[in-house]
Structure 1
Amino acid sequence: MLWTIAGTSLRETGRRRAALILVIVLPLAFYAARSDMQGQAIRFLALGVGWAVATLALFSHVGARHLDRRLAVVGASPTALLLGRQLALVGMGLALAAGYFGLVAATQDVNRLWAVGLLLGTTVLIAAPLGAVVSLVLPRELEGALALLAVMATQMIADPEGALAKALPLWSTRELTGYAVDPVGSDHLRDGLAHFAVVALLCACAAWIAAVVRLQPQKLPEPRSA
């Protein structure tokens, strides 16, 4: 069941070529805009990848809403439906991250290049369930995409030392970017991974709970007696 749902999700996403091209190209724009500053360029690239994957997740879950209801009626579990779609989205996100990792490797001289791969991979693992959560709270694509854009924009401009930035889902990108680019200690790596683990777990749990509640069978009202 998981592989069937994952394959269906990949085919559905592949049909939306214009949206797919836009979300693939957007991280490149983020990267190019700050290419003169290595640390910011890599962090903005990670945030762009996060927005792209979260948006794909949003589109996938919103587009499959009616199909999921029909599958749930015939016995598919909400957990399998959610995990199947997430499997496809994480796979696409990691492929996108690998492509941009190659770009960074070719254009930047980074102190810890492997940490850039870790940065992009953890961003994908947060963004996929984050997009699912937003799709369940805002079931329309436009509103959901704007909400994700607002989160990413706030993450970019908020004071990274402030409480607001740390409460946002991709604060870990700041710590992991610092560890990759600057000669800093392992505390940046530890803090970034700890924040990632907490956020990824919260997003995954929220997406699962919302999916279970949304796909529960609905009791039809009993007909009134004449």
Structure 2
Amino acid sequence: MTLTIAATSLREIGRRRAALLLVIALPLAFYAARADQQGQAIRFLALGVGWAVATLSLFSHVNSRHLDRRLTVVGASPSALLIGRQAALAATGLAMAAGYFGLIALTQDVERLWAVAVLLVTTVLIAAPLGAVVSLVLPRELEGALALLAVMATQMLADPEGTLAKALPLWSTRELAAYAVDPVGGEYFERGLLHFAVVVVLCSAAAWTAAVVRLRPQALPQPAP
């Protein structure tokens, strides 16, 4: 069932060509706007990839609400539905990240290029469950996409050393990007991975709990005598 859901989700994402092209193009715009400043260009690109994957995740989960309810009636488990859809989104995001990693490799002379790959992969793995969580709070595409854009914009503008930036889901991009580009110590890499692990666990747990609660069997009311 999980593989079936993943394949169905991939086909659903592929059918929305216009939306897919727009969300893929946004990270490129972020990167081009800061191409002359290597560190910011890479970090903004990662944040753009995060917004793109989170938005695709939001769209996928919002559009599948009624389908998931019907599938649970015929025996599908909420866990299988969530894992299958998340697997499809992660695969789409990693393919996007691979393309942008190639762009960085061709256009930038990065001291630790492998760390850029880690940066993009961790961003994708955060963004997929993040979009699922936002779809539970704001179950409409427009409101959810605007909320995600607000989160990413705040992440870009907030003081990276401040409490607000560290409380946002993609603060790890700053630490990992600094480690990839600047001659800093391994503590940046360690802090970035730790923040990534905490956010992934929290978002995944929230998405799974909400899916189980939302799709749990409901008793029908007793007919009136």
Q: TM-score range by the shorter chain?
A: over 0.9
Match of residue 129 from structure 1: 129
Superimposed CA distance per residue, residues 131-169 of structure 1 (whole angstroms, 9 cap, x where no aligned partner): 011111111111110110010000000000000000000
CA distance in 2, matches of 1:194, 1:118: 13
Match of residue 211 from structure 2: 211
CA distance in 2, matches of 1:205, 1:34: 35
Match of residue 58 from structure 1: 58
Match of residue 114 from structure 1: 114
- Read off the aligned partner of 1:55 and give its amino acid letter: T
CA distance in 2, matches of 1:62, 1:160: 32
Match of residue 193 from structure 1: 193
Q: CA RMSD in A?
A: 0.6
Match of residue 9 from structure 1: 9
CA distance in 2, matches of 1:141, 1:224: 39
CA distance in 1, matches of 2:135, 2:81: 14
SS at match of 1:211: helix
CA distance in 2, matches of 1:176, 1:8: 33
Q: Which 5+ residue runs of structure 1 have no aligned equivalent?
A: none
CA distance in 2, matches of 1:159, 1:184: 19
The Cα shift of 1:220 comes to 2.2
The yes-or-no answer on 1:32 pairing with 2:32 is: yes
CA distance in 1, matches of 2:139, 2:74: 23
TM-score, normalised via structure 1 length: 0.99
Match of residue 86 from structure 2: 86
The Cα shift of 1:224 comes to 2.3
CA distance in 2, matches of 1:66, 1:123: 29
- Read off the aligned partner of 1:9 and give its amino acid letter: S
Pairs aligned (count): 225
CA distance in 2, matches of 1:144, 1:211: 17
- Read off the aligned partner of 1:183 and give its amino acid letter: P
TM-score, normalised via structure 2 length: 0.99
The Cα shift of 1:19 comes to 0.3
Q: Which 5+ residue runs of structure 2 have no aligned equivalent?
A: none
The Cα shift of 1:50 comes to 0.1
CA distance in 2, matches of 1:13, 1:92: 9
The yes-or-no answer on 1:22 pairing with 2:9 is: no
The Cα shift of 1:41 comes to 0.3
SS at match of 1:87: helix
CA distance in 2, matches of 1:19, 1:115: 29
CA distance in 1, matches of 2:2, 2:77: 10
The Cα shift of 1:74 comes to 0.7
CA distance in 2, matches of 1:143, 1:162: 27
- Read off the aligned partner of 2:67 and give its amino acid letter: L
- Read off the aligned partner of 1:118 and give its amino acid letter: V
Superimposed CA distance per residue, residues 21-40 of structure 1 (whole angstroms, 9 cap, x where no aligned partner): 00110000000011111000
